[in-house]
Amino acid sequence: MKQLSIKELELKANDIRQDLLKALTKAKSGHSGGPLGMADVFCALYFHIIKHDPKKPDWEERDRIILSNGHICPVRYAAMAHAGYFPLAELDTLRKFGTRLQGHPERMRLPGVETTSGPLGSGLSQASGMAYVGKHIDKKKWRVYCLTSDGEHDEGNTWEAVLFAAKYRLDNLTQIIDRNNIQIDGNTEDIMPLNPLKEKYEAFNWNVIEIDGHNIEQIIDACAQAQATQNKPTLVVANTIPGKGVSFMENRYEWHGVPPGKGPEDTVPKEKQLEVALQELQTWREEIEASPET
């Protein structure tokens, strides 16, 4: 696909945020916080970083995206729709009976989805297996990008994959952690402390890059650094704000697993939540449009 400029990517990420919120509201269920927080990462991946062809989703030389924390799939669906994998109008079917857009991605339903995800902690093992095959068996040049949550690092399977990827020097594997510091029950550091996260991965012989997960230039640069790194898998710690772009959702774990219309009413009444969220995002979009090209 044609690579977009930074300003184009910022505008596209805003469109993705607006569309995923509309889909969640129609579904009357699903996760808001994580998808809003990861819109910049998914936008950078689909519109600048990865090799892929929406018209040929099974193209052998494509890069693979593995979404481990499948509950944030509304952001992936919105990004895929904008990239041309399916019509934007299909986003309205999110979580409906029989839809291709299930509440967690299903590989056999939607072309372009590499794995079925639901149980947390499995994605990095799946991605490591793919990367192993690509590097050591098939000798291919495609890369694997695995999106994980910080909360799922409570799962032991994740750390088994960390060991495996380092042992086999899977330099074709890039893991991007959504480091938003929340999970469904509260703050990650209260529930099961992860810090020092960077140093832990370095001790496991990973290359680690820490970035602002909302700075698209940093996202692109980190993935370029990962591609240039030899004999080590790379972890990109993307520090994000859950609910990014919607003031009454930002940094609140209460918005982890609910859509507009079903969230806390201490700031905005339920019946106004989508309207206010879209107004805020549209104002942000206008600010991006007015900003100089970078």
d(CA 62, CA 111) in angstroms, rounded, equals 13
Instruction: Give mean pLDDT, residues 78-104.
Output: 97
Kindly state the helix (H) or strand (E) to which residue 210 belongs, with its residue range.
Answer: strand 207-212
Residue-level pLDDT at 264: 96
pLDDT at 294: 65
Residue 67 falls inside a structural domain:
yes
- Would you state the pLDDT for residue 152? 95
Residue 175: strand, helix, or coil: strand
Give pLDDT tens digits for 131-190. 999 999 999 999 999 999 999 999 999 999 999 999 999 999 999 999 999 998 899 999
User: How many whole angstroms separate alpha carbon 186 and alpha carbon 273?
Assistant: 22
- State which residues form the domain around 53: 6-290
CA distance 76 to 88: 12
Q: Please compute the mean of the pLDDT values over residues 237-245 and round it to a whole number.
A: 98
Query: Does residue 33 form part of some domain?
Result: yes
* Beta-carbon-side half-sphere exposure of residue 219 (alpha carbons within 13 Å): 28
- Number of structural domains found in the chain: 1
With respect to residue 29, please indicate whether it lies within any of the assigned structural domains: yes
pLDDT of 2 over the 80 cut: no
Is 1 part of a structural domain of the chain?
no
Domain membership flag for residue 141: yes
pLDDT at residue number 12: 98
Q: Is residue 180 part of a domain?
A: yes
Q: What is the pLDDT of residue 131?
A: 98
For residue 179, the model assigns a pLDDT of: 98
Say yes or no to pLDDT of 112 above 80. Answer: yes
> For residue 3, is pLDDT > 90?
no
Q: Which H/E stretch holds residue 149?
A: strand 144-149
Give whole-number Cα distances, 256 to 58, 86, 220, 251, in Å: 32, 26, 26, 9
Q: What is the pLDDT of residues 181-230, one digit of tens each?
A: 999 889 999 999 999 999 999 999 999 999 999 999 999 999 999 999 99
The domain that holds 149 is classified in CATH as 3.40.50.970
Reading the block at residue 52, the tokens are 């892929």
Give pTM, 2 decimals: 0.97
What are 250-292's pLDDT values in tens digits?
A: 999 999 999 999 999 999 999 999 999 999 999 999 999 999 8
Task: Report whether pLDDT(95) > 80.
Answer: yes
Q: pLDDT at residue 1 above 80?
A: no
Q: How confident is the model at residue 118 (pLDDT cuts 50, 70, 90)?
A: confident
Residue 92 lies in a domain: yes
Task: Tell whether 188 is covered by a domain.
Answer: yes
Are 274 and 285 a contacting pair, CB within 8 Å? no
- pLDDT, one tens digit per residue, over 25-64 is 999 999 999 999 999 999 999 999 999 999 999 999 999 9
